[in-house]
Structure 1
Amino acid sequence: MTATPSQPYSPMVARASRPPHRSRRRPPAAVRDTLVLMGLPVLAALALPAAFTGGGTRRWFGGRAENQRAEAQAAKDDAAAAFYELDTAQRDLRISIETIAAVDSSPAARRAVTDFEALGRRIDEASHQYIGAVDAHDLDRDDLEASAASRARGELTAAKEELDRVKQELDRFAEGLGPLLGKAETQLARLAPAVERARQALLAASNALDSARGSGLRADDLAARLATLGPELTRLNQGAGQHGVPQTLERAERVIREAEAVRAEAERLPERADEISHRLVSLRTRAQALTTRTEQVEPVLSELRRRFTAACWQDLQHVPEQAAESVRQAERKLTEAQSAREEQRWPDATALLSTVRALLNTTDEAVSAAGDRLRRLNAVQKDPQQEIERTRFAIRDAQRLAMAGRNTPDPAHARPLDEAVARLERAITTLEGRHPDYWHFLTETESVRESVGRVVSHIREERGAGH
C-alpha cells in the first residue's frame, strides 16, 4: 500500500519500526519459591534476568550470525529511510500536481496528471517489494541463522535500490513540471487579489448608487445592472475549488469591469442630469431661432427667382416647407425628451436629444444654403473674373509641380490637367448670353479645382514614395 497525504503512516512502516520481540522465560520453581518467601511478587521475576545480565535474554550463536543480523538490520534501516524519502517526495509532488490540475486544462497539464498516476503505480510496486521484504524476515528472532540474515539483507538491499530508482524517476518528473507549476502558481497568486478587487468594486458601485439616490435620482437602470452582479459575487465567494481557477479569475475581471462601469455612471449621474436639462434649454432656444430664420428663406428665394435663371435656385424651392417641418418634428422630440428627463429615463432622454440635434443641424444647413447661394451668385455676377483667375492659378500651380525636374510631364498627370483647362474654358462660355447660368459656372469651377487638387496629391505621394 502506498503512503498518501491522507495516510501518513502505512502498515508497512508500523511493521518496520515495531519493537523487537523478546522471549520471556519462566523462572525455575526454586527461584519462585524463594521469591515468595521473601515477599516479592512472582511477576517481578520477569525483570530479574535483565537486571542481572544487563540486557535481553537472546542466546549467543557466535560472531558470524550476529554480524549478518547487524548487516541485515542496517539494510532494513536504509530501506526504511528510502521509503520515507520517497513517500515525502510523492506527497509534495501530489500537491504540485493538484495545483496544476486545478488551474490548467491544457494537454500538457492533462499529460502531467496521467504521468503522475503512472509513477504512482511504480511507487506502489516498489513499496510492495519493500513491505514484502520486511514482512518476510524477523530480524529479532533469537534463533535467526546467518543464512536467513544474509537473505534478508539481500532482499532489503534490493528493495532499497528499487525505491531509490523510483525516487530518481520522481525527481526527474518533478523537474519537468517547472513551467507548468510556475504558470499555475502565478494564476493562484492572482486569484485572491482579483476576488478582493471584485468585492471592492461592487462595494464602490453600491456606495455610488446610494449617493446618487440620496440626491433624488432613482437610477433604476443602474440598480438593475448592479443586481445582476449579485449571483456572480456568490460564485466568487464559493471559491475556485468549486468553479475552477481560470473561470474564477475571468469572473472576477468581468465583475470588476461591470461594477466599475456602474460606479462611474452613478457618480456622473447628477452631472448627467444637469447636462440633459441644459441641453433641453439650449436646443429649444435653437429651434425657436431656426423657426425665425426659416421664415426668412422665402424672401431670399424670391430674389433668386427674380434675378437668376431657374437652374440657380430650383433645388432650393422646397427649403421653407422642409425646414418648417423639421423644426416642428424637433419640437415634438424635445417634448418627449423633457418627459424622459422628468421620469429619469436617462438613455431615452439622451437618444431623443441626439435626434433633435440632428434635425436642427440639417435644417440649419438647408436654411443657410439659400442665403449662401444668393451671396455667391451676387459675387460672381458682379465679378466672374475673380473665380476664373482663382481656378487658373490652381491649374498653373499644378502644371509647374508636374514639370518640376522633368523635360516632359508624365502623361498620367498631363491628361487630367489638360482636361481641367478645357473644362474651365467651357465654363467661361456659359457666362455669355442674356441669361448666364452662374450657378453652373460656380459648381464647375469648384469641381475643376477639386480634380486639380487630386492630381497634386498624387504627384506628391509618388515623389514621397520615391524618396
Structure 2
Amino acid sequence: MTATPSQPYSPSVPRAHRHRRALADTLTLLALPVVAALALPAAFAGGGTRRWFGGRAESQRAEAQAAKDAAAAAFYELDTAQRDLRISIETITAVDSTPAARRAVSDFEALGRRIDEASQRYIGAVDAHDLDRDDLEASVAAQARTELTRAKDELENVKRELDRFSDGLGPLLGKAETQLARLAPAVERARQGLLAASNALDAVRGSGLKADDLAARLAALAPELTKLNQGAGQHGLPQTLERAERVAREAEAIRVEAERLPEKAAEIDHRLVSLRTRAEALTTRAGQVEPVLSELRRRFSAACWQDLQQVPEHAVENVRQAETKLKEAQAARDAQRWPDATALLSTVRALLNTTDESVSAARDRLQRLNAVQKDPQQEVERTRFAIRDAQRLAMSGRSTPDPRHARPLDDSVARLDRAVASLQGRHPDYWHFLTETDAVRRTAARVVAQIREERGTAP
C-alpha cells in the first residue's frame, strides 16, 4: 500500500478532508497498488470452464474461496482506511510542526510498514493457491483456506490498530482544520486593512496635511502583502496566518492614526496657544516671588525660607527654556513633524509645571507660616486628632493594641510634644514645626491603612 501517492498540500485540504470518504470510495479501484489490482480480479472471479466435482474437495474449495473473498474485503477496507488517514496526516503536517505532530507522522509511517507486511502476506497467500484448478485437492484447498483466513485476521488486526491511531489524531486534526479554516478570512482581513489604510492616507493628504511617516509605514507592508499573495503553500500556514494577523493589526493602526491626524493637528494648535499663555502668566507670577521672600526674611527665621532663595532665578530660567521649546514646537508643527511637535510640547509642559510648583511654594509657605504664627494650637489639635483616630482604630475589638501599631503611634505623640516645645523661644522655627506635624499625620495615616488592610476593611 505504500505505492499510494501522497497528495501535495494545498489550502483546499480541509474541504478535501471533509469529503475524503466520498473521494476515496470513487477513486480506490482506479488507484489501488499494482499488486493489489492484480490480486483482486482473482478474489472476485467465478465461473470459467473448469469441471465441477462433488464431494469433499468441492466443499473445501468453496470454503477456501469464501476465505479468499473475506481476505480481499479486509484488504480493501484497510487500504481505504489508510488512504483516508493519509489525507489527515498531510493536513496535520501542512499546519503543525510540533513534537506531537512529528510523532504522529512517525507513528503513521510505522503503521504503514505493518500494513505493508500484512498486505504482502495476504498477496502471497492469494498467489500461492489457484482455487480454480480442476484438480484442486481437498488438502490444498484446506491449506489455502487456513492461510487466507490467517491473512484476513492479520489485515483486520492492523485495521483495528489503524482505527485506534486515527481516533487518537482527533485533537491534532481538529487544530489543523481550524487553522486552515482561519487562513482565507485572515488573508482577506489583511488585504482589506491595507486598502482602508491607503484610502485614509489619501483622504488626509487631500485635506492638505502631510503623513509621510504613515506613508512610509504603509509602504513597508508591501513585501508582506506579496508574501500573503504567494500563499501558505510557499511560506507555511502558521507563518502565513501570523503574517496576515500582523499586517491587519499594523494596517489598522495606520488607518486610525491617519483618520485622527486632523484632530491631532487641531489639538497641537490648541496646546501651543494654551502653553504660550501659561508661560506669559508664569513670567508675571515669577516676578511676584521676590516680595514674598522679602516678607519671609523680615518676619521669620532663616530656616523658614532659605530653601526658597533660588526660586525667582530658577523660575525665570525655566520660563525662558519653555519659550524656546515653544518656538521649536511651532516650527515642527509648521513642518507637520507631528511626533517632534508633540514631544516638544510635553517638555514645555513639564518645565511650566515645575515653575508653577516652585512659584506657588513661596506664597503657600508664607500663608502657612502666617497661620501657625497666629494660632499654632489649631495645627496641634489637627495633628492630635489624627493620632487619636488611629489609636481608636488600633484598640477596636482588642484589649491591648498590637505593638506594630502602638509603637509608631506612641512615637508620634512624643514627636508632636517635641515639635510643640520647639516653638518656645524668641525666634521659633515655625517651618520645622509644620514639617514635623505633617510627618506625624503621615505616620498616623500609614498605621490606619495598615490596620484596615490586615482586617480586610475598606478605608
Aligned to 1:339: 331
Counterpart residue type for residue 285 of structure 1:
T
Q: Secondary structure at the match of 1:301?
A: helix
Please give the alpha-carbon distance, in whole angstroms, between the structure 1 residues aligned to 2:172 and 2:399.
Answer: 70
Structure 1 residue 414 displacement after superposition: 4.2
Aligned partners of 1:15 and 1:134 also within 8 Å: no
Distance 1:152 1:335, change over 3 A: same
Which consecutive unaligned segments of at least 5 residues does structure 2 have? 7-29
Query: What does 1:17-416 correspond to in 2, within 5 Å?
Result: 58=49, 60=51, 62-64=53-55, 71-139=63-131, 152-405=144-397, 409-416=401-408
Please give the alpha-carbon distance, in whole angstroms, between the structure 2 residues aligned to 1:427 and 1:413.
Answer: 22
TM-score under structure 1 length normalisation = 0.82
Question: Percent identical across equivalent pairs?
Answer: 80
Counterpart residue type for residue 123 of structure 1:
I
Counterpart residue type for residue 216 of structure 1:
G
Aligned partners of 2:50 and 2:133 also within 8 Å: no
Structure 1 residue 140 displacement after superposition: 5.2
Aligned to 1:454: 446
TM-score under structure 2 length normalisation = 0.83
Counterpart residue type for residue 4 of structure 1:
T
Aligned partners of 2:283 and 2:319 also within 8 Å: yes
Structure 1 residue 95 displacement after superposition: 0.8
- Name the larger-Rg structure: 1
More off after superposition, 137-146 vs 197-206? 137-146
Aligned to 2:22: none
Counterpart residue type for residue 441 of structure 2:
R
How many correspondences in the alignment?
431
Q: Residues 10-56 of structure 1, C-alpha deviation per residue, up to 9 Å, x if partnerless?
A: 32344235599xxxxxxxxxxxxxxxxxxxxxxxxxxxxxxxxxx97
Structure 1 residue 120 displacement after superposition: 1.0
Distance 1:265 1:157, change over 3 A: same
Q: Secondary structure at the match of 2:209?
A: coil
Q: Residues 49-77 of structure 1, C-alpha deviation per residue, up to 9 Å, x if partnerless?
A: xxxxxx97x36363356666555544444
Distance 1:72 1:376, change over 3 A: same
Please give the alpha-carbon distance, in whole angstroms, between the structure 2 residues aligned to 1:74 and 1:461.
Answer: 84
Counterpart residue type for residue 103 of structure 1:
V
Please give the alpha-carbon distance, in whole angstroms, between the structure 2 residues aligned to 1:70 and 1:411.
Answer: 101
Aligned to 1:16: 39
Distance 1:140 1:320, change over 3 A: same
Please give the alpha-carbon distance, in whole angstroms, between the structure 2 residues aligned to 1:85 and 1:410.
Answer: 81
Counterpart residue type for residue 270 of structure 1:
P
Please give the alpha-carbon distance, in whole angstroms, between the structure 1 residues aligned to 2:3 and 2:358.
Answer: 89
Aligned partners of 2:405 and 2:447 also within 8 Å: yes
More off after superposition, 258-267 vs 196-205? 196-205
More off after superposition, 184-193 vs 264-273? 184-193
Please give the alpha-carbon distance, in whole angstroms, between the structure 1 residues aligned to 2:250 and 2:424.
Answer: 69
Distance 1:459 1:175, change over 3 A: closer
Please give the alpha-carbon distance, in whole angstroms, between the structure 1 residues aligned to 2:87 and 2:233.
Answer: 14
Please give the alpha-carbon distance, in whole angstroms, between the structure 1 residues aligned to 2:42 and 2:436.
Answer: 115
Counterpart residue type for residue 39 of structure 2:
A
Please give the alpha-carbon distance, in whole angstroms, between the structure 1 residues aligned to 2:455 and 2:69.
Answer: 88
